[in-house]
A and B are shown apart, each in its own frame.
Chain A
């Protein structure tokens, strides 16, 4: 069974038909990169996977999105539970104005975990998972804003991991970072995929090529092609994909 399965999904912002008949499937413990020019629908699609678009008025979805075989748009699905299972990391690091420790503990507390030992253990584990422990272990009580951009982004990933999701969505997670921080996040992705299924939106073709197992190319709200990353970047099936990745349009 696929971890994430999208069946004939159409999505509308009011009258605007943003996604057309998207069908794709992702296996567990893989990294899938979503690429395409601005406005092609890749971020819209990503946000559908944890029902973030529910928060926008006038949106409408047709079709099915299954995670672990369950339709996440079923009326019995609780969006809060879903978002616990499907974590999200955004383009710009967005730590809360709290301490490093509190940033990671926040999601746990919101979800009703009060046992201090459990919180502490989860915070430590999550910070270690994102390879930030050595850099922050002596200043956990200091403000998260004191960290560099790259450290803040890893902290945000740790915050997403603390609630123990099984899917991690990333919307251009390194676009605001320098090459060294970017490389650290990409190395981290390889570590994380052993535990999580990762979907990453990126405008950086090299990043998609370096860091993902599969790549899906979106154009004007349609999925043009999805295949192994190696195939997409060596011999894509569709001319539109070839033209986009070789920089001839888009």
Chain B
């Protein structure tokens, strides 16, 4: 039976919301694990990761079917193109969250390091940027896009500062080298999650305005306010 186009699009949108919701859980879980004093259990996060992978494939299949059978154009075409890209970004966010949890296991004296380098603040911002990216897709709200760009810049600055400080400590205290290195990798993962959230915002902007802003600076993007 032929499914009406509108129904296919709604199905795609709902699947993206579902995968985005799972990735949001992953990010929350990963940051909570990083900030927690005890060593993490990663069974739940692994199960969620499997669900994300399955939904990612499902989204590709829905998009492929729509391209082949419905030949979408204009706003429909932009939505489907963005949906495929956003799904990839979300899947990567899931993977990175999983990696954060794995690396966290290897950090000794974790809590002390986290307190010293302000990583709790980075974690808060990571959760926030991820929520905003998902909201931005669901509501197609351009105002959120500007906020995501600003938040990403702030996360980059904070992780960069923290990494410099960690390296400085590692230079003076060789006992911190192993944990410090793992923590740097975790920070890099968090930074990548933030980048993927920003990419989602860029695809939402493309979906709304038919303009590709991948390599533009925030100040140069029409309709968006704020400074990078």
Contacts and interface: CB of A to CB of B under 8 A. Distances in A.
A246 interface: yes
B77 interface: yes
Contacts of A205: 71, 73
Nearest to B76: A246
B178 interface: no
A234 B208 CA distance: 11
A247 B66 CA distance: 14
Contacts, number: 28
Interface in A232-250: 233-236, 242, 245-247
A242 B75 contact: yes
Interface residues of A, number: 11
Nearest to A236: B74
Contacts of A247: 5
B210 interface: yes
B74 A233 contact: yes
Interface string B68-93: 00011111111000000000000000
B74 A235 contact: yes
Interface string A164-207: 00000000000000000000000000000000000000000110
A57 B71 CA distance: 42
Interface string B1-19: 0000100000000000000
Interface of B: 5, 71-78, 209-210
Q: Which 9 A-B residue pairings sit nearest by Cβ, starting from the closest? A: A235-B210, A233-B73, A245-B73, A246-B76, A242-B74, A246-B74, A234-B210, A245-B74, A206-B71
16 contacts: A205-B73, A233-B73, A233-B77, A234-B73, A234-B77, A234-B78, A235-B74, A235-B210, A242-B74, A242-B75, A245-B74, A246-B72, A246-B73, A246-B74, A246-B75, A246-B76
